[in-house]
Amino acid sequence: MDRPRLSLDQTAEELLGRLDGGAPLSQVLEGLILQIEAASHGGMLGSILLLDEDGRRLLHGAAPSLPEAYSRAIHGIEIGPKVGSCGTAAYLGHAVYVTDVSTDPLWEDFRDLALSHGLRACWSTPIVGEAGEVLGTFAIYHRTPRTPTPDELELTRAVSAVVARAIGRAHRPA
C-alpha cells in the first residue's frame, strides 16, 4: 500500500479549524479517519481510542469503518502489558505493531473477537500530549496479516501527532 495521498499539515489545519468552529471532537476525528481510509483505497481501517480520566481504560473515540460490535466490545478495556495492540501501546507508551493477530501473544485474550470481525493485523501508536502524557491510541487495522512499510510507520506517527493537537484544542479552556 502506498502512503495515503493527503497532506496531513493541511488536514490538521482544517480539523483544528472545525474544532474552533464548534464541531465535536468525535466528528472531527471520524472525518480524519475517513480521509485516511479513502486515501488508502480500502486498504486500512482506522481507530482512535481515548484514555479515560483515570488513565486506565480506553474509550471509543472514532472508528467509522470498524464493525460496530467490535468497537462496542473494546470500549472501556483496561490498558496493560498484554491487551492487544492499543491497550499495550497505551500501557507501554510506545508503538505496537502486530502483523498477525492470529498468532501474536498480545492478542491472546482478544484473538477470537478480532478474527470474528475479519481483523488480522493491527498497528497502534500512542497519542501523546504536550506534557508527554498518553491521551489515547491511533490504530490501523488490516483484514490480512501485514507488516507496515516505512511510509505506513511514518503515517501512524504523523496521524497520532495531529490527533494529539486536536484533543488539546478540544479540551483547552475557552
Instruction: Note the pLDDT tens digit of each residue in 82-102.
Output: 999 999 999 999 999 999 999
Chain-centroid distance, C-alpha 97: 12
Residue 143 DSSP one-character state? S
Residues 100-109 have a mean pLDDT of 98
Nearest to 105 by CA among 118, 127, 123, 88: 88
Question: Per residue in 42-83, pLDDT tens?
Answer: 689 999 999 999 999 999 999 999 999 999 999 999 999 999
Sign of CA dihedral 117, 125, 155, 49: positive
**Of 29 and 1, which is predicted with more confidence?**
29
- pLDDT attached to residue 101: 98
Tell me the domains of the chain and their CATH numbers.
Answer: 8-171 (3.30.450.40)
pTM of the model: 0.90
Q: Work out whether strand 96-98 and strand 77-78 pair parallel, antiparallel, or are unpaired.
A: unpaired
Query: How far is the C-alpha of 145 from the C-alpha of 56, rounded, in Å?
Result: 29
In sequence order, the 6+-apart residues with CB closer than 8 A to the CB of 81 are: 88, 91, 92
Residue 62 near residue 33, CB atoms below 8 Å: yes
Over 80: is that where the pLDDT of 171 sits? no
The pLDDT of residue 135 is 96
Please give the single-letter amino acid code of residue 166: A
Report which secondary-structure segment, H or E, holds 1.
none
Statement: residue 1 has pLDDT above 50: no
Q: 11 pLDDT exceeds 80?
A: no
Percent of residues, the chain, with pLDDT higher than 70: 93
